[in-house]
Amino acid sequence: MSTEQNKAIVRRFLEDYTPAVVDELLVPNYMHHDPSLPPEMQRGRDAYKQINNMFRAAFPDLSVTVEDLIAEGNKVASRWIWNGTHRGELMGIPATGKQVAATGTSIHRVAEGKIVESWFNFDALGMMQQLGVVPTPGQPA
Residue 104 confidence class, pLDDT cut points 50, 70, 90: very high
Q: Give residue 43's domain range.
A: 3-131
Has residue 46 been placed in a domain? Answer: yes
Rounded CA-CA distance 125/82 in Å is: 14
pTM assigned to the model:
0.90
What's the average model confidence in pLDDT over 70-80? 98
pLDDT band per the 50, 70, 90 thresholds, residue 17: confident
141, pLDDT greater than 70: no
DSSP tag of 138? T
Residue 141 is assigned to a structural domain of this protein? no
The CA distance from 82 to 15, in Å, is: 9
Q: Are 44 and 29 in contact (CB under 8 A)?
A: yes
3-state secondary structure of 59: coil
Domain presence at residue 47 = yes
Phi, psi of 115 (to 5 degrees): -85, 125
Residue 79 lies in a domain: yes
Q: What is the DSSP string of 84-136?
A: EE--S-BTTBPP---EEEEEEEEEEEEETTEEEEEEEEE-HHHHHHHHTSSPP
- Would residue 137 count as lying in a domain? no
Tally of structural domains, the chain: 1
| 109-137 residue pLDDT tens | 999 999 999 999 999 999 999 999 998 88
**Residue 139 located in a structural domain:** no
